[in-house]
Amino acid sequence: MVTATDSETTGTSRGGGVLGQVQYWLAVIFIVGWTGVVCGGLGVQFGTWDYPCPLCMLQRYFMMLAALGGAYIVRKAMTGTMVRRDYMMGWGLAIVACFGGGFTAWRQTMLHILPGDKGYGGAVLGLHLYVWAFVLFIAAITTIGVVLAFSHETASETIPTTGPHRGIGMLAIGFLGLVIAINLVATFFLEGFHWVLPDDPACYQLLHDLGILDGGCVLPADH
């Protein structure tokens, strides 16, 4: 007869020490990593005037949603006590976000897969941003799967609430919040007072809607 262990009945893990905090630090890396990737997209947008298309923006949203999965784990850890469902909730959200983002990136890649198609936007190290996004989403799902396979050893039930754990965690969450706010503003500038973003944005429509700039920007017909 198989009986449940104490950790299984209480919903917590016995993992401890440095190894037991692997999932916590992975969550921090998840926040900073995805937020950094979004910052890279913003850098391309503002640095090279390469306006993101709707599929590009969807990939950003999924990246930020994945980062929010990590943020959930980090925020819960700040209480000092973690249970299995906290880890599962955060990683579950991250996996769903990465799957959605990966599918979106795959879709955009397939739109430009035919020989002779130059793709949308510029390239980084020979690959377009949406191809890099696809690679990163798949890599993120794989990483989460590997860590969860050893969840008993990597998911501690107790996380320090002071020192670098809290400080770095707060900085990571703050970084994510700032970038989310910047993206909201950037999207508003792109769409202006319209419900949709054009397939091939040519300007910051809000500046035209407010009469600051004239001409040179055409949106699809309103529905």
The string of DSSP letters for 44-106 reads: HHHHH-----HHHHHHHHHHHHHHHHHHHHHHHHTTSB--HHHHHHHHHHHHHHHHHHHHHHH
Mean pLDDT of 56-72: 92
Instruction: Give Cα 72 distance to the centre of its chain.
Output: 13
Of the pLDDT bands very low, low, confident and very high (cuts 50, 70, 90), residue 161 is low
The top-scoring range by mean pLDDT among 104-113, 158-167, 213-222 is 104-113
Q: Are 201 and 215 contacting, i.e. CB atoms less than 8 angstroms apart?
A: no
φ/ψ of 123, rounded to 5, equals -115, 150
Whether 37 has a pLDDT exceeding 80, the answer reads yes
Predicted local confidence at residue 151, as pLDDT: 77
Q: What is the pLDDT of residue 128?
A: 80
Closest CA to 57 of 179, 222, 187: 187
pTM (two decimals): 0.81
Mean pLDDT of 146-174: 78
Q: What is the pLDDT of residue 11?
A: 42
Q: What is the dihedral of CA 141, 164, 32, 22, to 10 degrees?
A: -10
How does residue 2 score in pLDDT terms, banded at 50, 70 and 90? very low
* Confidence grade of residue 123 (pLDDT, cut at 50, 70, 90): low
Residue 216 contacts by C-beta under 8 Å, 6 or more apart in sequence? 202, 203, 208
